[in-house]
Amino acid sequence: MRTDTRPGNGPSRPRWHVPGLLGAALAASVAVALAVPSWTPTTPPQVTTAAAATAAGAAPAPASATATTGAADPADPAAVVPVTTGLSLPAVTAPEGTPVARPATGALFDGPAEAPGDHFCSASVVESATGDLVVTAAHCVSDGDGTPARTGMSFAPGYDDGTAPFGYWTVTAAAVPPGWLESGDPDSDVAFLTVSRPDAPPIQQVTGAYRLAFGTSGAGGDDTPVTAVGYNDGDADATTVSGTAGTLDEDQWQLDQPGLDQGSSGGPWLTGPDDSEILAVTGGYQQGGDSPDVSYGADLGPAAQSAYRSAGGTD
């Protein structure tokens, strides 16, 4: 289990402290636009592609780099500027100049951008035509009982050491496969969220984005190296584990590496050159696993691909 299991919330319900967001019932792909406060940019961060950094003689941000320290103020968030993304994720620094190890991976918080509250799940920015999509587990935004998916929570890319170096982005829409939305099918436990900030470019231009490895379950057999990332409940930074992913069945991946616990749901399983592709997200069977010793992830199959397209993605 990778979500809150406190009494009264049921065995598989995430934490929610967002009143008044359940009034609009939508179909399988949910799109709810919510108003968010405006903000005035301050000093912009230094953002460059890895290729540009190399051309300028600077090395890309190392994988072990950490984000800037000091709590971000949602009322006066860090400014963001566009960056042209290419085949690689960009090397990104926070406004104070500190490299951010994984700017496209972050934590989902249960409150709006101006009062984010606690983080409860994990998510990552993914390539899309619109440039504003993140991927997470469907059970992070939907109970799987026919009720509509939730929106209005916030996403903090690059969250580390209790800091949101690029501020908080509001979730304005959720695209959830019908299999999960209607009946909690674990093979459909993937969701795509639209995020935005007033007066800011699409998030993909700020953090870079991961590619999605659709339909690869079983292709690598039981020998697919992955790096899985997630924000365990109560932690101020991400937990990262590496190992070999195997196939639980044709629709589910399994990773026998300890470390990921409640709150890591929706976190990416990275693979490919420089960990630039997402093979799966923590979720699926047992909503990601009922112990921190083993994790599961639903294959990015046809259901996930359809939700991605309906959210504005292209493949």
pLDDT tens profile 91-101: 677 666 677 88
Strands of the chain, DSSP E = 29-31, 47-48, 91-93, 99-100, 105-109, 119-125, 133-136, 154-157, 169-175, 191-196, 211-212, 224-230, 239-249, 252-255, 268-271, 277-282, 295-299
What pLDDT shows up at residue 69? 27
Phi/psi for 98 (5° steps) reads -85, 130
Q: Which of 88-92, 208-212, 235-239, 267-271 has the lowest mean pLDDT?
A: 88-92
Residue 16 in this model has a pLDDT that exceeds 80: no
Residue 272 in this model has a pLDDT that exceeds 90: no
| pLDDT confidence tier of residue 289, bands split at 50, 70 and 90 | low
| pLDDT confidence tier of residue 251, bands split at 50, 70 and 90 | confident
What pLDDT shows up at residue 77? 40
Q: Report residue 55 as tokens.
A: 């051309």
What pLDDT shows up at residue 223? 79
| pLDDT confidence tier of residue 2, bands split at 50, 70 and 90 | low
Q: Is the dihedral of CA 130, 32, 197, 265 positive or negative?
A: negative
Residue 248 in this model has a pLDDT that exceeds 70: yes
Q: Which of 90-104, 126-140, 160-174, 255-269 has the lowest mean pLDDT?
A: 90-104
Q: Over pLDDT 70: what percentage of the chain? A: 66
Is the pLDDT higher at 13 or at 289?
289
Angle (CA) 176-181-186 rounded to 5° is 90
Is the pLDDT higher at 286 or at 134?
134
Which candidate, 158, 188, 186, 157, places its Cα nearest to that of 171? 157
Q: Is 79 in contact with 95 (CB distance < 8 Å)?
A: yes
Taking the C-alpha atoms of residue 46 and residue 225, their distance in angstroms, rounded to an integer, is 32
Q: Is 148 in contact with 25 (CB distance < 8 Å)?
A: yes
Is the pLDDT higher at 174 or at 33?
174
**Mean pLDDT of all residues in 145-161:** 95
Residue 242 in this model has a pLDDT that exceeds 80: yes
| pLDDT confidence tier of residue 306, bands split at 50, 70 and 90 | very high
What pLDDT shows up at residue 39? 28
Which candidate, 129, 155, 150, 130, places its Cα nearest to that of 138? 150
| pLDDT confidence tier of residue 269, bands split at 50, 70 and 90 | very high
Is the pLDDT higher at 144 or at 66?
144
Question: CA 2 → CA 157, 175, 247, 263, 281, distances in Å?
Answer: 20, 20, 19, 5, 12
What pLDDT shows up at residue 92? 72
| pLDDT confidence tier of residue 263, bands split at 50, 70 and 90 | confident
**Mean pLDDT of all residues in 248-253:** 82
Q: Report residue 70 as tokens.
A: 């000091």
What pLDDT shows up at residue 245? 86
What pLDDT shows up at residue 38? 28
Q: Over pLDDT 90: what percentage of the chain? A: 48
Residue 298 in this model has a pLDDT that exceeds 50: yes
| pLDDT confidence tier of residue 80, bands split at 50, 70 and 90 | very low
